[in-house]
Amino acid sequence: MRGLQTNLSFGNVRLEPLADRHVQSLRAACAADPDIWDIYPHSMLDEHFDPAVQAMLEHTDRLPFAVLAVGGSEQNVVGMTSYINPNSHGVVEIGGTYIEPSVRGTGFNHRMKKLMIDHAFACGFRRIEFCVDVRNKRSAAAVLKLGAKLDGTLRKNTVTWTGHVRDTHVFGLLQEDWNG
């Protein structure tokens, strides 16, 4: 995994490899926006939460992070994100990202993505991918702001936890595209 999983900090954003100490705070963060989970492949609510966290921690091709908002001496878990499927061809996906409403629209997501993108390129990756449900217009717009290009749409490629068969936009970001 070429050094991807480490603590990362920038401004009021701190990413820490997901650990047991983050789980209860992450549960509360995920519950802050119950309606959003309908457009995610997996739910992080109620009885779905513990199995979903366990699956993230056990998946060998996923490096999950707790996302913390830092202010003064306070650090609060406000979400999660992951590096997914890093491979020997120099490609890694950033995904499984959720941040609670309290930090949306503040530039927090951009700072979080900057940390992850800069770190992935520093670790030698040459391409970063983002896979976004076509219904998730906010995430698609955020990825485009980073400089990523829409490479295509995978039609009916994922069945979500609700049973919805989704189409997925695949965006690619190369170092020369990155406007960090």
Each residue's pLDDT expressed in tens, for the chain with a length of 180 residues: 468 989 999 999 999 999 999 999 999 999 999 999 999 999 999 999 999 999 888 888 999 999 999 987 788 999 999 999 999 999 999 999 999 999 999 999 999 999 999 999 999 999 999 999 999 998 999 999 999 999 999 999 999 999 999 999 999 999 999 977
CATH number, residue 83: 3.40.630.30
Indicate whether 151 belongs to any domain. no
User: Residue 135 has what pLDDT?
Assistant: 95
Find, among 40, 4, 10, the residue nearest to 112 by Cα: 10
Structure-token pair, residue 148: 């990523």
User: Residue 58 has what pLDDT?
Assistant: 87
User: Residue 99 has what pLDDT?
Assistant: 96
User: Residue 86 has what pLDDT?
Assistant: 94
Cβ 8 vs Cβ 18: under 8 Å? no
Indicate whether 175 belongs to any domain. no
User: Residue 164 has what pLDDT?
Assistant: 94
Q: What is the domain range of residue 122?
A: 8-132
Indicate whether 102 belongs to any domain. yes
Structure-token pair, residue 71: 């202010």
Residues 6+ apart with CB under 8 A from 92: 4, 83, 84, 85, 86, 120, 125, 127, 128, 129
Indicate whether 168 belongs to any domain. no
Indicate whether 89 belongs to any domain. yes
Structural domains counted in the chain: 1
Q: pTM of the full predicted structure?
A: 0.92
Indicate whether 177 belongs to any domain. no
Indicate whether 150 belongs to any domain. no
Indicate whether 138 belongs to any domain. no
User: Residue 2 has what pLDDT?
Assistant: 62
Neighbours of 17 (CB within 10 A): 15
Q: Of how many residues is the chain composed?
A: 180
